Amino acid sequence: MCTQAMDLAPKEERAGLRSADEAALAARFEARIDAGEWIEAKDWMPEHYRKTLVRQISQHAHSECVGMLPEGHWLTRAPTLKRKAILLAKVQDEGGHGLYLYAAAETLGTSRDQMLAALHGGKAKYSSIFNYPTLAWADVGVIGWLVDGAAIMNQVPLTRCSYAPYARAMVRICREESFHQRQGFDSLHVMMKEGTDAQRAMVQDAVDRWWWPSLMMFGPPDADSQNSAQSMRWGIKRLSNDTLRQKFVDACAEQAKVLGVTLPDPLLKWNEARGRHDFGPIDWSEFWRVVGGDGPCNTERLAARVQAWEDGAWVREAALAHERKRAAREQAA
């Protein structure tokens, strides 16, 4: 479903250059980046670039898969067949995004088992937004509007990421995220314009709960974002956390007027001189608390992923047995 700026891992040591050959390769790599060339899986790349990408793409993949859980909770509770079919399609899309992204990360030499072990062991992060609960049906619409909306804002620049397999995966993902955002907005629009007072109150309550966590999806302020500068130099990241967050606030402020909801920020105000909206301070202590494992649903989300992995053991074993038989038959033929 989404990324938040994925620069939360502990600082890594930069790989030191070991030889003149390697220095020449590094210089050529930097020149290619400066020229805006794509980097492919088979190309030489610095170890730190590879590790940064593995961390970012695998965290993105984990976010897509964990992101299926809050909405999956509503699949059996959708109010109409139409909304159920839309939600099913969306949740399936998110699973697909996770699979594309695991495949993209595997091109960098890290296996899916390694990535999943890091997630299940609590070592790898996923977007903190999915550690919040979906308390009412309107939360599903608000996730589409705000969470998928923030995801699009984050991910469109990734279609120009210097690492080509990631950039290619993002093209299709962004098209699907656009559908996700629209279905959420449409669902809220119907409730706000044609619904009852109770439905309008439900939508407003969901907006109140999801607005600030959505702003946190862009990651910490630029000044506190330790890996951002290097990622921007390498063309992995094209726009800073604060730039993306501002674009998102500007877009949502207008969309909220169309919906007839109030964004829960008394300081949100158009600033004519800046040509942007001003907005209130974000509670970063909440962000770090949730990232650190103490959000409302962290334990539940991770337990659900571990359970899914354990429940799927027979499928993996059957697939391996089938492949062994196929290989043996091929050898015998």
Q: Which residues bind Fe ion (CB under 5 A)?
A: 1, 64, 94, 97, 148, 177, 180
CB of 185 to Fe ion, least distance (A): 13
> What's the 3-state SS for the chain?
CCCCCCCCCCCCCCCCCCCHHHHHHHHHHHHHHHCCCCECCCCCCCHHHHHHHHHHHHHHHHHHHHCHHHHHCCCCCCCCHHHHHHHHHHHHHHHHHHHHHHHHHHCCCCCHHHHHHHHHCCCCCCCHHHHCCCCCHHHHHHHHHHHHHHHHHHHHHHHHCCEHHHHHHHHHHHHHHHHHHHHHHHHHHHHHHHCCHHHHHHHHHHHHHHHHHHHHCCCCCHHHCCCHHHHHHCCCCCCCHHHHHHHHHHHHHHHHHHHCCCCCCCCCEEECCCCEEECCCCCHHHHHHHHHHHCCCHHHHHHHHHHHHHHCHHHHHHHHHHHHHHHHHHHHC
Minimum CB–partner distance for residue 148 and Fe ion (Å): 4
What is the amino acid identity at position 5?
Answer: A
Smallest separation (angstroms) from Fe ion to the CB of 94 = 5
Question: CA 48 to CA 9: how far, in whole Å?
Answer: 13
d(CA 54, CA 118): 12
Between 33 and 184, whose beta carbon lies closer to Fe ion?
184
In whole angstroms, how close is the CB of 110 to Fe ion at the nearest point? Answer: 21
Looking at this protein, which amino acid is placed at residue 129?
I
Question: 60 vs 245, which CB is nearer to Fe ion?
Answer: 60
Nearer to Fe ion, 210 or 279 (CB): 210
| Distance (Å, whole) CA 332 – CA 272 | 76
Pick 125 or 200: Cβ nearer Fe ion: 125
Query: Closest separation between CB of residue 177 and Fe ion, Å?
Result: 5
Of the two residues 148 and 265, which places its CB atom closer to Fe ion in the complex? 148
**Residue with smaller CB distance to Fe ion, 45 or 91:** 91
Q: How far is the CB of 143 from Fe ion (least distance, A)?
A: 8
User: Whole-number minimum distance, CB 131 to Fe ion, in Å?
Assistant: 17
Distance between CA 23 and CA 16 in Å, rounded?
10
Q: Minimal distance in Å, beta carbon 47 to Fe ion?
A: 29
